[in-house]
């Protein structure tokens, strides 16, 4: 990894947690945070727990973020949460276009880019998720699928790209226990990096997500174009998540 790109390890709690469970997890993260050096750490929590995350993490080295954002500023959009609302809770990060949102809610790549724009407009850093299914990969279409997903984001221009993060999550490796090999992950990251470089944003961070664990984190982080991880299930266990964040390539 280029040393000018600070590693970022981010947890995605998905639809997990309760006030009691979160207290235990957040306390565990805070207790061990000091051993993570040179890596940014953050957790993306369900909307109802943003206040709890803020209260626990403010002033600590751990940031917090949301898992989705509305493209709208305000109005008759029941169930939507705006960028300004997230900013009220001190949110720094927001996931945009996670594969589960694309698959279950039909989010298009253009909508994902619009969400990134909404986040940037409120001073939040969007984490734009891209990735192919197993069928896409088996058909040799991984790069074309990712190029399609990236296109509206790349069109935002170098200034916007410098303020966001890309997360490559092969859909076939999310929550399955399967992980892309370091070489497989690096190949796609290099493809993404080349696209970013062509748009004047070669230093934009690109994270890997998909069954990341402490056991495979160091080998993934050793790859030159992998700048960190977006962690799912392992982010729900403080010790495991901290071990991932502390992994040194």
Active site residues: 98, 169
Sign of CA dihedral 210, 213, 219, 220: positive
3-state secondary structure of 27: helix
Q: Is 150 within 8 Å of 195 (Cβ atoms)? A: yes
Retrieve residue 15's tokens.
């639809």
Retrieve residue 217's tokens.
């984190």
Considering only CA atoms, which of 206, 161, 215, 204 is closest in space to residue 187? 206
Considering only CA atoms, which of 238, 208, 216 is closest in space to residue 9? 208
Angle between helices 50-57 and 19-32 (to 10 degrees): 30
Q: What's the rounded Cα separation, in Å, for the pair 21 and 51?
A: 15
């Amino acid at each position: 990894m280029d040393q000018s790109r600070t590693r970022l390890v981010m947890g995605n709690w998905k639809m997990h947690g309760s006030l009691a469970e979160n207290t235990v997890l957040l306390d565990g993260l805070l207790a061990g945070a000091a051993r993570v050096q040179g890596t940014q750490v953050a957790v993306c929590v369900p909307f109802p727990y943003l206040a709890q995350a803020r209260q626990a993490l403010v002033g600590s080295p751990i940031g917090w973020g949301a898992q989705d954002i509305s493209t709208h500023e305000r109005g008759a959009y029941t169930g939507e949460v705006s960028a300004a609302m997230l900013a009220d809770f001190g949110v720094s990060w927001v996931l945009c276009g996670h594969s589960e949102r694309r698959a279950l809610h039909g989010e298009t790549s253009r909508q994902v880019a619009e969400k990134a724009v909404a986040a940037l407009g409120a001073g939040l850093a969007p984490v734009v998720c891209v990735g192919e299914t197993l069928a896409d990969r088996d058909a040799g279409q991984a790069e074309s699928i990712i190029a399609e997903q990236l296109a509206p984001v790349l069109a935002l221009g170098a200034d916007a790209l410098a303020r966001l993060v890309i997360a490559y999550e092969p859909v076939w490796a999310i929550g399955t226990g399967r992980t892309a090999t370091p070489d497989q992950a690096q190949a796609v990251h290099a493809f993404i990096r080349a696209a970013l470089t062509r748009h004047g944003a070669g230093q934009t961070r690109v994270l890997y997500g998909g069954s990341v664990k402490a056991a495979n984190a160091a080998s993934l982080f050793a790859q030159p174009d992998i700048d960190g991880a977006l962690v799912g299930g392992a982010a729900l266990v403080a010790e495991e998540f901290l071990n991932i964040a502390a992994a040194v390539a």
